[in-house]
Amino acid sequence: MDVDDPSPRAGGGSGVDPPRIRRLEESVVNRIAAGEVIQRPSSAVKELVENSLDAGASTVSVTVKDGGLKLIQVSDDGYGIRFEDLPILCERHTTSKLSAYEDLQTIKSMGFRGEALASMTYVGHVTVTTITEGQLHGYRVCYKDGVMENEPKPCAAVKGTQIMVENLFYNMVARRKTLQNSNDDYPKIVDFISRFAVHHINVNFSCRKHGANRADVHSSSTSSRLDTIRNVYGASVVRDLIEIEVSDEDAGDAVFKMDGYISNANYVAKKIMMILFINDRLVECTALKRAIEFVYSATLPQASKPFIYMSINLPSEHVDVNIHPTKKEVSLLNQERVIETIKNTIEEKLRNCNTTRIFQTQAVNSALTQVYTQKDKGTEVKMAPGVKSQKAPVSQMVRTDPRNPSGSLHAYWHGQSSKLENKYDLVSVRNVVRSRRNPKDAGDLSSRHELLMEIDSHCHPGLLEVIKNCTYVGLADEVSALIQYNTHLYLVNVVNVSKELMYQQALCRFGNFNAIQLSEPAPLQELLLMALKDDESIGDENDEEKLEIAEANSKILKENAEMINEYFSIHVDHDGNLTRLPVVLDQYTPDMDRLPEFVLTMGNDVTWDDEKECFRTAAAAIGNFYALHPPILPNPSGSGVQVYKKNKACMASGEHVDSTDEDDIDHELLAEAETAWSQREWTIQHVLFPSMRLFLKPPKSMATDGTFVQIASLEKLYRIFERC
């Protein structure tokens, strides 16, 4: 019996059937595209930060866990996302940046394809929380595979948008395994944020690991780019930078401008640092980088690399931004001419500044007695400090005879022979290394360390265990919250714990605060008069006395403005206006209704003549101001709505008032109160208690002063039920 062989035959008259072409499922297409757009966690961070900048944000905060694989959280204070846009937010190719292909010719924004958020939903779990200006509350919604998992839920939110990407590449096993080492990608994320901070000097950036006390990048809004470079990369970099400007406006077909900073011949580094923005877009240009390295090779020693920051502006129609999946490269019209012009300008700058070279040396400690001993034919000659020594003979500075100790290496270390001197040298070297690693810590003060040690020594270990492992239950009343620890239920005074947390954070972030920029400068004297107006100890008729107190406190704050700005980021300008406040907790802004009271406390209650007490009282004033006090407007829930009646006078006189009449309610004031109280409740749950678990070291006094009260125990409840 003959049986047809279904298998394809090689050779002979019958050819192999070609494979069949199939249309891939949409989910497969989207996942493949997502893997190309979001190549690693740093790619996701870059896309999210660019979205924040496109949204007009003035503050961008990034939090990363396990190199971005477990968590990426990017928060900004931009204009938010419309409620009606949330359903299509994470669909592919949905964007607010353009509507037609021709718009690419004049595109100004960094994003334009509408692929980044969609790609993240195919390789991770995305949660978006947003609020737009004028809304009473925000919305939170989760996305998976480009669509919403549920309807948007109303929630309390701060201005702007917060996007969380969790479990990145959970469904891409090979990609996740290659990125398991979290130490690989976090430096890339820090590098991205540092580059953005240098270019966007009007935006506050921060980047930290989840649970870390200190941000690895923290830049404040400033008018000087050199200040930002100093803050991000250190003072040693700024010292060797020179400004550069290039323009080619005469050539009609290649109009461009470039400004930036380049390092001079004194700068030494092992790796090139090139920060390049073209039309405000962070990109790479291999040809330009190679040309600059070639110029520097004739100036710098071998193996030394330069520091370069460049911002190039060209007409939009001369730049093609759509040539790379992650938009890290662009194509320029007349690129060779642009590069040649920049190269020639850099070469000329370096030639003009290369007339002198500076070599850093370490000075010998002048407090030590320096004795130079010369041996000449068995005679010992000691030369006292201040006496000019004779130059050692050349024959003694080269070891020509192994039996002659004057030719040994220690002869080159004049005055460094004693153990005491070696000890002092070691201390000075350690200080130099520490100051290079973290310039802000170089001026750290012992009094601040003493205050931190007091916090550690007074910490209650039992309460610390409760805080670290508690579960938030909810608010019990206006000042108390319920938490559960194991089988115990505790009542916690929110005002007291937040005040202590803010005090401790003010000392921990000492000299390293991010800043809140006030929308308008606030005159100190006006703030002080507002605070004194509410002071019942001074009568209303004593206006002159209030004015004198306000002037005196304003003068004190202006005299100490430099100190409180450096240590606590409280900036007072020369005209006596308050312009900046510190960020004590990320994503939290204090109640500005209490600002006058805070300014009065800073001027009146801070001990300025004693360093340790000054830091303690200033941190206590900050802690009280930033604590989560109940809002000044009464709670509108329940019967509290009666306070917002327009005809409260009739109610006071005893006349009958119909409580159901909506026209009698001041809806604007009521909405403001509802927003304030809901915002406080959200902040307590999502900001205060997570921060307490990370940072708070509860003092022993909290166990006895009613801050923590155990109100129930499961074991005791079982006993009661058994009796029943």
Dist. CA 579–CA 106, nearest whole Å: 36
Which residues, 6 or more positions from 156, have their beta carbon under 8 angstroms from its beta carbon? 137, 138, 678, 679, 681, 682, 683
* Better-predicted residue by pLDDT, 431 or 234: 234
Q: What angle do CA 98, 193, 693 make, to 5 degrees?
A: 115
Per-range mean pLDDT, top range of 359-363, 577-581, 654-658, 672-676? 577-581
For residue 284, is pLDDT > 90?
no
Helices (H), 458-523: 461-468, 494-508
pLDDT at 139: 94
Tell me what the pLDDT averaged over the chain comes to: 78
Mean pLDDT of 629-640: 76
For residue 566, the model assigns a pLDDT of 87
Question: Sheet containing 577-583: which strands, arranged edge to edge?
Answer: 514-523, 577-583, 571-572
Residues 469 and 608 in one domain: yes
DSSP 61: E
Half-sphere exposure of 208 (CA within 13 A, CB side): 16
- The per-residue pLDDT for 673 is 80
Do 208 and 238 have their domain in common? no
Would you give the end-to-end CA distance of the chain in angstroms? Answer: 89
- Does 567 share its domain with 598? yes
Rg (CA), the chain: 33
Other beta carbons less than 10 A from residue 138's beta carbon = 27
Same domain flag for 193 and 257: no
Last residue of a domain, one of 334, 352, 370: 352
652 located within any domain: no
Q: Mean pLDDT, to the nearest integer, of 275-297?
A: 87
Range of the domain at 318: 234-352
Closest to 662 in 3D by CA, of 677, 644, 678, 639? 644
Name the strand (E) or helix (H) holding 130.
Answer: strand 125-131
Cα–Cα distance for residue pair 246/254, rounded to 1 Å: 13
My answer on whether 212 and 258 are in the same domain is no
pLDDT at 49: 93
Q: Judge if 145 and 243 occupy the same domain.
A: no
Residues 484 and 630 in one domain: yes
Give a yes or no: residue 162 inside a domain.
Answer: yes
The pLDDT value given to residue 249: 63
Q: How confident is the model at residue 190 (pLDDT cuts 50, 70, 90)?
A: very high
Phi and psi at 668, nearest 5°, equal -65, -45
State the Cα–Cα distance between residues 340 and 141, nearest whole angstrom. 50
pLDDT in tens, 293-338: 888 887 777 667 899 999 988 887 777 766 666 566 777 778 888 8
Query: Between residues 389 and 227, which one has the greater pLDDT?
Result: 227
Distance from C-alpha of 331 to C-alpha of 329, rounded to nearest angstrom: 7
Q: What is the pLDDT of residues 361-377, one digit of tens each?
A: 555 444 443 444 444 44
| DSSP-assigned states of every residue in 423-434 | HHHHHHHHHHHH
Residue 191 lies in a domain: yes
The pLDDT, as a whole number, for residue 475 is 87
- Check residue 369 and give its pLDDT: 39
In this structure, what are the phi and psi dihedrals at residue 18, rounded to the nearest 5 degrees? -65, 150
Q: How confident is the model at residue 261 (pLDDT cuts 50, 70, 90)?
A: very high
Asked whether residue 380 is assigned to any structural domain, the reply reads: no
491 and 711 in contact (C-beta within 8 Å)? yes
Which domain-ending residue is among 352, 381, 404?
352
H/E segment holding residue 708: strand 708-713
The number of distinct structural domains making up the chain is 3
Read off the pLDDT of each residue in 165-173 and give the average, rounded to a whole number: 87
Q: 405 phi and psi, to 5 degrees? A: -65, -20
Quick one: CA torsion of 215, 217, 221, 223, rounded to 10 degrees? 150
pLDDT of residue 633: 80
Mean pLDDT of 676-694: 86
433, two tokens: 């290394």
Give me the residues paired with residue 309 across strands.
261, 275
Is residue 126 located within the same domain as residue 259?
A: no
Q: Which of 181-185, 415-419, 432-436 is predicted most confidently?
A: 181-185
CA distance 240 to 306: 10
Please name the residues in contact with 134: beta carbons below 8 A apart, sequence gap of 6 or more.
Answer: none
Q: For residue 715, give the 3-state DSSP assignment.
A: helix
Q: Look up residue 143 and give its two tokens.
A: 């996305």
On whether the CB atoms of residues 557 and 603 are closer than 8 A, the answer is yes
Helix (H) or strand (E) holding 452: helix 446-457
Asked if residue 205 and residue 130 are part of one domain, the reply reads: yes
The pLDDT of residue 429 is above 70: no
- The percentage of the chain sitting over the pLDDT mark of 70, rounded to a whole number, equals 73
Alpha carbon distance 216, 201 (integer Å) = 17
Q: Has residue 723 been placed in a domain?
A: no
CB 373 within 8 A of CB 396: no
Confidence of residue 381 (pLDDT cuts 50, 70, 90): very low
Query: Which of 307, 197, 295 is CA-nearest to residue 261?
Result: 307
Residue 107, pLDDT score: 62
Q: Residue 90 pLDDT more than 80? A: yes
Domain CATH code at residue 287? 3.30.230.10
What average pLDDT does the segment 495-508 reach? 91
Q: Of 319, 352, 385, which residue is a domain's last?
A: 352
Distance CA 610, CA 607 (A): 6
pLDDT in tens, 93-142: 777 665 566 555 566 666 556 678 888 888 899 999 999 988 889 999 99
**pLDDT of 667:** 72
**Least confident piece of the model among 26-40, 59-73, 604-618:** 26-40
Look at 223 and 11; give whichever has higher pLDDT: 223
Q: Which residues contact 8 (CB under 8 A, 6 or more apart)?
A: 14, 16, 17
Residues 206 and 239 in one domain: no
Same domain? 199 vs 272: no
Q: What is the DSSP string of 30-52?
A: HHHHHHHH--SHHHHHHHHHHHH
Q: Judge whether 107 lies within some domain.
A: yes
More reliable by pLDDT, 396 or 582: 582
pLDDT score recorded for residue 95: 74
Same domain, 212 and 279: no
Report whether pLDDT(686) > 90. Answer: no
In terms of residues, how long is the chain?
724
